[in-house]
């Protein structure tokens, strides 16, 4: 169930946003939202690269609170808003994972 929520928020929810709010150019919007998942590249800096029991938020550089504050600023500009939405959605998704991780111990 946790996996389902995770992958829905990463792939399904962006589609809902793109289709719901960017209908004429929904595919372009969807691709931009999916591209924001590239922030997970910062995991490559960590050792091990993937650890299912590690909370990303506040651990990886692009998942730090400073970075998240920067993503919120992206919402201000019309051209960067969609990227900001995608990045914040990503942080929420990872944050939900953190709740699952901390409640399973």
**Could you say which residues in the range 61-100 bind Zn ion, by CB under 5 A?**
94
Q: What is the full DSSP assignment across 42-89?
A: GGGGSSSS--TTS--TTTSGGGSHHHHHHHHHHTTSTTTHHHHHHHHH
Of the pair 25, 102, the CB lying nearest Zn ion is at: 102
Tokens of 4: 């389902």
In the complex, the smallest distance separating the C-beta of residue 35 from Zn ion, rounded to whole angstroms, is: 13
Of the pair 23, 69, the CB lying nearest Zn ion is at: 69
Of the pair 26, 40, the CB lying nearest Zn ion is at: 40
**Could you say which residues in the range 31-60 bind Zn ion, by CB under 5 A?**
40, 56
Of the pair 56, 67, the CB lying nearest Zn ion is at: 56
How many residues bind to Zn ion according to rule CB under 5 A? Answer: 3
In the complex, the smallest distance separating the C-beta of residue 25 from Zn ion, rounded to whole angstroms, is: 26
Q: Could you tell me if 23 and 54 are in contact, meaning their C-beta atoms sit under 8 angstroms apart?
A: no
Query: Taking the mean position of all CA atoms in its chain, how far away is CA 69?
Result: 14
Task: With residue 28 as reference, give the H or E element that holds it.
Answer: helix 26-35
Q: Which residues bind Zn ion (CB under 5 A)?
A: 40, 56, 94
């Amino acid at each position: 169930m946790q996996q389902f929520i995770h992958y829905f928020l990463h792939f399904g929810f962006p589609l809902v946003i793109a289709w719901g709010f960017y209908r004429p150019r929904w595919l372009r919007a969807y691709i931009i939202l999916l591209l924001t998942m590239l922030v997970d590249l910062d995991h490559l800096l960590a050792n091990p690269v993937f650890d299912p029991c590690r909370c990303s938020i506040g651990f990886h550089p692009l998942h730090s609170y400073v970075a998240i504050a920067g993503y919120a600023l992206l919402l201000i500009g019309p051209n960067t808003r969609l990227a900001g939405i995608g990045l914040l959605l990503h942080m929420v998704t990872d944050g939900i994972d953190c709740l699952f991780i901390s409640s399973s111990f």
